[in-house]
């Protein structure tokens, strides 16, 4: 296996031991990115800047106390601000925003020693669970380029699954890390609200998104959580847990192949000593969630809404018509009901997404409302836990038995139990064969 595919922790160790240079690693990933530009994973790549930074990282390798990811390449989702880079937010409704500074989340990644290679594609303003913004190619799934990698962190997921990056930044407001992780065979953690600061350090209770990362393995996801949340994580297997299994959502029937893989994971967990109780999903409807989602977009300023996509315009128009305070009222009610439903269990197990990844363009001919409502099934197991603020992680559950595409399973814990979810995910990973990712394009100059 090439060092490029060993994951960010292993790459950092190789750079620190001078078994590989950051410049060599960076150039190799840039070559892969260029070779697979058709995936639409990136909206901007800055090779000269990345190589110059990698050289500086190499020159500093003799120093003591290097940061944990010194010299490791990363991509940042194009909803976040990187110093001296442009941010497009996936929209034509705003001109690209040039930032003189990193936002809070990106600042922690820079402190961790990463080399920034590029900005990864997002859906417009992060609104949709697929990554097909106007003005740039749609992001595509490396497992089957006819299909979406999900959204809104679709570019990040496509890049990691295709081997264009060892790790990528993402953000999650309704499943935007977990949905792409599921579709691309990756690990994606949505942390407890407040554990990882959002881009602007806001503590507003109505802000339901959080930043995170997409990785190929749990140990790497844990290491990224450590630097982003400034904490320490033990991946020792947890004591036997009470796990509830919910396989159906109110928004649609779970695909039989998805159901099969999640049920197999439940059987594995039971064999590991955990108790499994099958339950019905709590009935949170799309109509209840919709005001919470719509309100997020009404807060945006200076956007030319007439230049945005129909689904974004529909969300904003609906949000402006809401009575004051309704979104927060709905958020509190959903939180109360979900927490009551999960009371008595340590972990909830669900499919991450109830269906396989749709084809690219599946919603393109629909009007704004129809596109949102039809695509909402992709977030039917994920969005409620953004509202409650609970931690949730998507882990690979195997390949779909007929399509051969990745299936993800979601583990949800009580507030503040991120470390326990990561430890459980690690135990699952250790008990199952590692997934085989699509072969990346050749990387000249790097030993296999």
Number of domains composing the chain: 1
pTM, entire model: 0.96
Residue 198: its pLDDT value, please?
83
Catalytic residue among 22, 123, 152, 375: 152
pLDDT digits (tens, 9 = 90+) for 269-287: 999 999 999 999 887 899 9
Spatial neighbors of 237 by CB under 8 A, at least 6 apart, are 272, 423, 424, 426, 427
pLDDT digits (tens, 9 = 90+) for 203-220: 766 689 999 999 999 999
Residue 282: its pLDDT value, please?
83
Residue 436: its pLDDT value, please?
82
Residue 443: its pLDDT value, please?
40
Q: What is the dihedral of CA 109, 397, 379, 289, to 10 degrees?
A: -90
176 is catalytic: yes
Residue 162: its pLDDT value, please?
97
**Strand 347-351 relative to strand 242-245, pairing:** parallel
d(CA 442, CA 448): 10
Residue 184, in any domain of the structure: yes
Reported confidence tier of residue 440, pLDDT bands at 50, 70, 90: low
Residue 150, in any domain of the structure: yes
Give the three-state DSSP class for 278: strand
Reported confidence tier of residue 172, pLDDT bands at 50, 70, 90: very high
d(CA 144, CA 146): 5
pLDDT at 429 over 60: yes
Residue 446, in any domain of the structure: no
Residue 447, in any domain of the structure: no
Residue 443, in any domain of the structure: no
394 is catalytic: no
Q: Find out whether the peptide bond into 57 is cis, omega within 30 degrees of 0.
A: no
How much is the CA Rg of the chain, to the nearest whole Å?
20
d(CA 92, CA 114): 29
Q: Are 71 and 12 in contact (CB under 8 A)?
A: yes
pLDDT at 447 over 60: no
Catalytic residue among 22, 57, 77, 394: 77
Catalytic residue among 171, 176, 222, 394: 176
CA quadruple 100, 119, 5, 222: dihedral sign:
positive
Residue 442, in any domain of the structure: no
Closest CA to 189 of 369, 426, 387: 426
Residue 211, in any domain of the structure: yes
Residue 445: its pLDDT value, please?
41
313: left (phi over 0), alpha (psi -120 to 50) or beta: alpha
Residue 441: its pLDDT value, please?
52
77 is catalytic: yes
pLDDT digits (tens, 9 = 90+) for 319-340: 999 999 999 999 999 999 999 9
**CATH code for the domain in which residue 76 is found:** 3.90.1300.10
**272-299 burial by CB neighbour count: b if 16+ within 10 A, else e?**
bebebeeeebbebebebbbbbbbbbbbe
Burial classification of residue 123, based on how many CB atoms lie within 10 Å of its CB (0-12 exposed, 13-18 middle, 19 or more buried): buried
Give the three-state DSSP class for 171: strand
Q: What is the dihedral of CA 204, 208, 212, 215, to 10 degrees?
A: 180
Q: Give the residue numbers spanning the domain of 353.
A: 3-431
Residue 235, in any domain of the structure: yes
């Amino acid at each position: 296996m090439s060092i490029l595919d060993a994951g960010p922790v292993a790459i950092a160790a190789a750079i620190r031991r001078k078994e590989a240079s950051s410049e060599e690693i960076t150039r190799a990933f840039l070559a892969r990115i260029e070779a697979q530009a058709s995936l639409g994973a990136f909206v901007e790549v800055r090779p000269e800047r990345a190589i110059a930074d990698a050289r500086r990282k190499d020159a500093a390798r003799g120093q003591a106390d290097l940061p944990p990811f010194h010299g490791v390449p990363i991509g940042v989702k194009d909803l976040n601000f990187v110093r001296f880079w442009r941010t497009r937010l996936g929209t034509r409704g705003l001109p690209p925003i040039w930032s003189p500074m990193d936002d809070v989340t990106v600042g922690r990644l820079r402190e961790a020693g990463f080399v920034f290679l590029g900005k990864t594609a997002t859906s417009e303003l992060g609104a949709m669970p697929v990554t097909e913004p106007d003005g740039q190619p749609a992001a595509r799934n490396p497992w089957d380029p006819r299909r979406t990698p999900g959204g809104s962190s679709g570019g990040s997921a496509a890049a990691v699954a295709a081997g264009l990056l060892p790790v990528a930044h993402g953000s999650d407001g309704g499943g935007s890390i977990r949905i792409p992780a599921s579709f691309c065979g990756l690990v994606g953690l949505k942390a407890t609200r407040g554990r990882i600061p959002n881009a602007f350090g806001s503590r507003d209770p109505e802000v339901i998104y959080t930043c995170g990362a997409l990785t190929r393995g749990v140990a790497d996801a844990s290491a990224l959580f450590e630097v982003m949340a400034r904490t320490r994580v033990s991946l020792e297997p947890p004591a036997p847990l009470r796990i509830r299994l919910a396989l159906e959502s109110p928004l649609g029937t779970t695909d039989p192949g998805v159901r099969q893989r999640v049920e197999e994971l439940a059987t594995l967990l039971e064999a590991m000593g955990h108790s499994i109780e099958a339950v019905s999903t709590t009935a949170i409807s799309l109509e209840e969630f919709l005001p919470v989602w719509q309100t997020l977009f009404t807060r945006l300023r200076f956007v030319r809404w007439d230049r945005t996509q129909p689904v974004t315009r529909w969300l904003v128009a609906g949000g402006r018509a809401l009575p004051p305070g309704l979104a927060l009222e709905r958020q509190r009610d959903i939180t109360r009901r979900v927490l009551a439903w999960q009371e008595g269990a340590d972990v909830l197990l669900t499919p991450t997404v109830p269906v396989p990844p749709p084809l690219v363009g599946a919603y393109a001919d629909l009007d704004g409302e129809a596109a949102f409502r039809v695509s909402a099934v992709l977030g039917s197991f994920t969005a409620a836990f953004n509202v409650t603020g609970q931690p949730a992680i998507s882990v690979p559950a195997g390949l779909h038995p007929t399509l051969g595409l990745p299936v993800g399973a979601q583990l949800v814990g009580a507030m503040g139990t991120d470390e326990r979810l990561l430890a459980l995910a690690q135990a699952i990973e250790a008990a199952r064969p590692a997934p085989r990712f699509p072969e990346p394009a050749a990387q000249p100059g790097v030993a296999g």
